C-alpha cells in the first residue's frame, strides 16, 4: 500500500483536534484511488453506510473519529456535552448493525471521555482515545499477522474471502495480513481470492492488494470455491470476521458459512483471523448476532447497471454466521484459539495479555 | 415465453431446407430480446461458443441445424458429401467440450444421413432428422416437467441454479420446466434463483422466465445459497445437467457441486433434471468428463467493464462435477432414477421406453 495517496494506509487522521479524517474511497477502487476528506459526523456515517470504508477494524477507527467530529464543537457545559456525545454515538452505532468493532470503538471513546470530570477535558480525552485506537489497530494487525503467519507452510495455497487486508483496517489487516506477512518472510504462498458478490471486495480490493505485493494470486467466482477444493488446489482457508459470539460462532461476509462447510467437506483447515475487538462477549451464540440486509439493488445491479429484469426481487443479507464447530481456529493478537468454543474464547477475553 | 419474438421458443427453424435457424440471443437478455437469423455453420458455431445459445438441449438442437447448414450445399457425389459431413461435424463438436447433447445431436443427424444410400437422400434425411430432433426435444421437456412436477409438494420453496427453462431448450426446459409445470398445476411454489456467476444466467434469464410466468421468485447471489438453506427457506434443489456419466456423476454449471454439498449438509433433497440425451454411457465416472475453461475476462469483467485490476489472473472453469452420491435423484423423460448409481442409469438407458 506504500504508493497509495494516504501513504500506506486506507484511513488516517490529518492534523490536530481541528483536523479531518481521510479515507481511501473503497467503492472506487481499483479504478480510482480517490481520497475522501471528512470533517463531520454525518459524512463519516455515510461513508460507513455505503461501504466507502469497510472491514471491521477500519469501521471501528472511522467510527472513533466520526464520534470526535460529532462532539468537537459540542457545548462545554457538562449536560450539553453529554447530550451531544450520547446522540453522536447513537447516530454512528446505527450506521451498520453487524460489525462488533463499531460499537466497541464508540464505547472506548465514550468511556475515555467519561473518565474526565469536565466537558473540556472529556473532549480532549475523546480525541486522544481516537488517536490511540488507530495506533492500537496498527499494532494489533501486526500481531495478528505474526501469529497467523506461523500457520502458513512453505508452498501453501490459501483461499481468501472478501477483503481483509490493509484496506480493511488502519494497520495491515487481518486474514490477508497473515498471507502478506508469510510472503514477506519469503514463504512461497499463493492465493485463490473469491470475488465476493455482490460488492466484489475480493476482485476489486483483495486482488489489488495482492498484485501490488506481488503475491501469486488467482481470482475465482465464489461458486468455484468448491471446485478448486475438489481439485486439491487449496490447502487452507483464511477469513476475517465482523462479530464473534462468546461460543466462537462468527458473523462474516455473506458466503463465508458456505466456504466453511465446503472446507469441512474437503478436510481443509478453516481459520478466522480477527482482533479481540471483534468479539462480542454479550452474545452467547451466533443466532443472536444482528444480520444487516442490504438493498436489493446491490444484487440486481453492478455499478449502477442492471443485471436482472426490472422489478426483480432480491434477498441481500450482508453477512452469514459460521458455527464454531466449522472453525479450526481463531487467530487473535493474543494467539490462536483452538478448538473454538466458549471456554477458549472466554479464556482469551478475560486475560488478553497472556499469550495462548 | 409466449410474447417472445420467436413465438414461445428460444430456438426454431424457419422455412424449408433453404431456411434459417432463428435464436433468441441470450447474451442480450433481459435488456433486449434480439433474434439471430443464422444461415451458415460458422455462425451457429460462434453462437454456441459465445453462449448466444446455451443449455444442453438447446445446444443439441442448434448443432443439429448447424450441421444441416454445413452440408446443405455440399457436393452430391458420395465421397464429396461424406467429407463435408465429417468436417462439419468435427467443426461443430469442438464448439464447446462439455455438453453431451452436442455430440449426441450431431451423431443422430449423421446416423440418419448414413441411413440412406446416395448423397441427395442423405441430405434430405439429415434435414428431416434435425427437424425431428427439435420436435422430440419439445416432447421430452414436457415429459421431464411431468415427472418432475410429481416431486413438488404444495408450498415448497425450490432453489435453482443457472438457467434451465425454455431458454435452455427448444421445449419448456429441464429443471425450471418442472417448477413452471408445478405452478401451472396450481401448486404454490416459490423459487430462490442463484444468479450464477460469471455470466449471470440466473439473474438475467431465470428471473426473466419466472417473472413472466408470475412465479414467486427471489434472486440471490450464489454465495447466499448456504445462508438461505440454514434459515430453512429452501425445501428442494433442482438443477439441470450438461453431461452425466454412467455412474450418475453429473457435470453442470460451475457452482452446482458446491450447492449439492450444501444441500447434503442441510438435509435438503437435490435433484438433477435432464433428458437421456445428456447421459454419456461411454464415460464411467465424472472425472473423465472434459471440463471447459472459459476466458479469464468472463470473471474479471461484467459486460465488458472491468471489475478487477488490469492484468488480474482468473480461473474460469465453466462446469464442475457433482458426484452421484450427492444426488437424490435424476429426473428423466423415462422417470426418476433414484438412487443414482450405475445400475439405475444403465437400466434406464438400456430401456428408455419402459417407465421406471
Nearest C-alpha of chain A: how many angstroms from B173? 20
Question: pLDDT value at position A308?
Answer: 97
Rama region for A227: left / alpha / beta (φ>0; ψ in -120 to 50; rest): alpha
8 Å CB contact of B30 and A308 = yes
Nearest residue in chain A measured CA to CA from B318: A224
Nearest residue in chain B measured CA to CA from A261: B262
Question: pLDDT value at position B355?
Answer: 64
Residue B178 to residues A242, B56, B132, B323: CA-CA distances in angstroms? Answer: 40, 16, 23, 22
Residues of chain B contacting A302 with CB distance shorter than 8 Å:
302, 307
Q: Judging by DSSP bridges, how do beta strands B216-220 and B189-194 pair with one another? A: parallel
Nearest residue in chain B measured CA to CA from A300: B203
B8 reaches A (C-beta below 8 A):
no
Alpha helices in B231-339 (DSSP H): 256-265, 297-300
Q: For the residues A213-218, what does the mean pLDDT come to? A: 98
8 Å CB contact of B309 and A208 = yes
Angle of CA points B122, B126, B128, to nearest 5°: 115
A195 reaches B (C-beta below 8 A):
yes
Residue B216 to residues A115, B30, B161, B193: CA-CA distances in angstroms? Answer: 56, 18, 16, 10
Of residues B94, B93, B67, the one with CA closest to residue B81: B67
Q: Give the whole-angstrom CA distance, residue B28 versus residue B205.
A: 10
ipTM for the predicted complex: 0.96
8 Å CB contact of B197 and A197 = yes
Residues of chain A contacting B208 with CB distance shorter than 8 Å:
309
> Which residues, 6+ apart, have CB-to-CB distance to A16 below 8 Å?
none
Listing from the earlier edge strand, what are the strands of the sheet with A216-220? Answer: A216-220, A189-194, A156-160, A236-239, A270-273, A329-332, A335-337
Ordered DSSP codes for B86-147: HHHHHHHHTS-SS-HHHHHHHHHHHHHHHTSSSHHHHHHHHHHHHHHHHHHHHHHHHHHHHH
Nearest C-alpha of chain A: how many angstroms from B104? 26
Q: For the residues A319-343, what does the mean pLDDT come to? A: 98
Which residues of B carry out catalysis? 242
Q: What letters, b where the CB count within 10 A reaches 16 and e where it falls short, cover B194-205? A: bbbbbbbbbbbb
**B31, B200, B224: residue with CB nearest A315:** B224
Angle of CA points A244, A250, A255, to nearest 5°: 145
Residues of chain A contacting B305 with CB distance shorter than 8 Å:
303, 305
Judge if the upstream peptide bond of residue A194 is cis by omega within 30 degrees of 0: no
User: What does the block give as the cell for A47?
Assistant: 461513508
Q: Give the whole-angstrom CA distance, residue B219 versus residue B185.
A: 23
Contact B85, B113 (CB under 8 A): yes
Q: Which of A221, A262, A313 to mutate to test the interface with B (most CBs of B within 10 A)?
A: A221
A3 reaches B (C-beta below 8 A):
no
> Which is the catalytic residue, given A137, A242, A280, A320?
A242
Nearest residue in chain B measured CA to CA from A211: B312
Q: Give the whole-angstrom CA distance, residue A64 versus residue A60.
A: 6
Q: Give the whole-angstrom CA distance, residue A159 versus residue B42.
A: 40
- The string of pLDDT tens digits covering residues A185-203 is 999 999 999 999 999 999 9
Q: Give the whole-angstrom CA distance, residue A255 versus residue A175.
A: 16
Residue B156: how many CB atoms within 10 A of its CB?
Answer: 17
Q: What band does A2 get if pLDDT is binned at 50, 70 and 90? A: very low
Handedness of CA A343, A346, A348, A351 (dihedral sign): negative
**A203, A255, A308: residue with CB nearest B219:** A308
pLDDT at A226 over 90: yes
Residues of chain A contacting B222 with CB distance shorter than 8 Å:
197, 221-223, 255
Q: Which residues in chain B show pLDDT less than 50?
A: 1-2
Question: If you average pLDDT over every residue of chain A, what do you get?
Answer: 96
Listing from the earlier edge strand, what are the strands of the sheet with B319-322? Answer: B279-280, B243-245, B250-253, B319-322
Active-site residue, A242 included: yes
Question: If you average pLDDT over every residue of chain B, what do you get?
Answer: 96
Residues of chain B contacting A204 with CB distance shorter than 8 Å:
307-309
Question: pLDDT value at position B2?
Answer: 44
> How many alpha carbons lie under 13 Å from residue A90 in its C-beta half-sphere?
6
Q: Give the whole-angstrom CA distance, residue A86 versus residue A66.
A: 13
Taking a contact as any Cβ pair under 8 Å apart, which residues of chain A between 201 and 260 contact chain B? 203-204, 207-208, 211, 217-228, 230, 254-255, 257-258
Q: For the residues A3-18, what does the mean pLDDT come to? A: 85
8 Å CB contact of B315 and A224 = yes
pLDDT at A353 over 80: no
Nearest C-alpha of chain A: how many angstroms from B65? 30
User: What does the block give as the cell for A322?
Assistant: 459460521
Question: pLDDT value at position B116?
Answer: 94
Residues of chain B contacting A303 with CB distance shorter than 8 Å:
305, 307
User: What does the block give as the cell for B285?
Assistant: 465416472
Alpha helices in A150-242 (DSSP H): 175-184, 201, 207-212, 225-230
Instruction: Please state the separation of Cα A266 from the chain's center in Å.
Output: 27
Q: Give the whole-angstrom CA distance, residue A217 versus residue A210.
A: 7
Residues of chain B contacting A317 with CB distance shorter than 8 Å:
224, 227
Ordered DSSP codes for A307-353: -S-TT--B--BSEEEE-GGG-SEEEETTEEE-S-SHHHHHHHHH-TT
Q: Which of A309, A313, A322, A325 to mutate to test the interface with B (most CBs of B within 10 A)?
A: A309
Question: pLDDT value at position A8?
Answer: 73
H/E stretch holding A46: helix A41-49
8 Å CB contact of A313 and B218 = yes
Question: pLDDT value at position A1?
Answer: 47
Question: pLDDT value at position B356?
Answer: 61
Taking a contact as any Cβ pair under 8 Å apart, which residues of chain B between 143 and 162 contact chain A? none
8 Å CB contact of B204 and A261 = no
Q: Give the whole-angstrom CA distance, residue A138 versus residue A269.
A: 27
Amino acid at each position: 500500500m506504500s504508493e497509495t495517496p494516504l501513504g500506506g494506509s486506507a484511513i488516517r487522521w490529518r492534523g490536530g483536534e481541528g483536523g479531518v479524517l481521510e479515507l481511501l474511497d473503497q467503492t472506487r477502487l481499483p479504478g480510482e484511488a480517490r481520497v475522501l476528506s471528512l470533517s463531520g459526523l454525518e459524512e463519516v456515517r455515510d461513508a460507513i453506510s455505503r461501504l466507502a470504508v469497510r472491514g471491521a477494524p477500519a469501521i471501528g477507527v472511522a467510527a472513533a473519529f466520526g464520534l470526535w467530529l460529532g462532539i468537537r464543537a459540542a457545548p462545554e457545559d457538562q449536560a450539553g456535552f453529554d447530550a451531544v456525545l450520547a446522540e453522536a454515538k447513537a447516530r454512528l452505532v446505527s450506521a451498520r448493525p453487524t460489525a462488533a468493532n463499531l460499537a466497541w470503538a464508540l464505547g472506548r471513546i465514550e468511556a475515555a471521555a467519561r473518565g474526565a470530570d469536565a466537558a473540556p477535558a472529556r473532549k480532549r480525552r475523546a480525541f486522544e482515545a481516537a488517536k490511540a485506537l488507530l495506533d492500537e489497530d496498527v499494532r494489533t494487525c501486526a500481531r495478528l499477522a505474526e501469529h497467523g503467519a506461523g500457520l502458513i507452510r512453505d508452498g501453501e495455497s490459501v483461499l481468501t474471502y472478501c477483503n481483509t487486508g490493509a484496506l480493511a483496517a488502519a494497520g495491515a489487516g487481518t486474514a490477508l495480513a497473515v498471507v502478506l506477512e508469510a510472503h514477506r518472510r519469503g514463504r512461497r504462498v499463493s492465493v485463490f481470492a473469491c470475488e465476493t458478490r455482490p460488492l466484489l471486495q475480493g476482485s476489486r480490493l483483495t486482488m489489488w492488494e495482492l498484485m501490488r505485493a506481488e503475491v501469486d494470486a488467482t481470482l475465482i467466482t465464489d461458486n468455484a470455491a468448491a471446485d478448486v477444493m475438489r481439485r486439491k488446489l487449496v490447502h487452507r482457508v483464511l477469513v476475517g470476521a465482523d462479530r464473534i459470539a462468546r461460543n466462537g460462532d462468527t458473523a462474516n461476509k455473506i458466503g463465508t458459512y458456505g466456504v466453511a462447510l465446503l472446507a469441512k467437506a474437503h478436510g481443509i483447515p478453516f481459520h478466522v483471523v480477527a482482533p479481540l475487538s471483534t468479539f462480542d462477549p454479550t452474545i452467547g451464540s451466533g443466532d443472536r448476532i444482528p444480520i444487516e440486509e442490504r438493498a436489493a439493488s446491490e444484487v440486481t445491479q453492478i455499478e449502477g447497471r442492471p443485471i436482472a429484469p426490472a422489478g426483480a426481487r432480491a434477498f441481500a443479507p450482508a453477512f452469514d454466521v459460521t458455527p464454531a464447530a466449522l472453525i479450526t481456529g481463531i487467530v487473535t493478537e493474543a494467539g490462536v484459539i483452538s478448538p473454538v468454543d466458549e471456554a477458549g474464547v472466554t479464556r482469551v477475553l478475560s486475560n488478553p495479555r497472556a499469550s495462548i
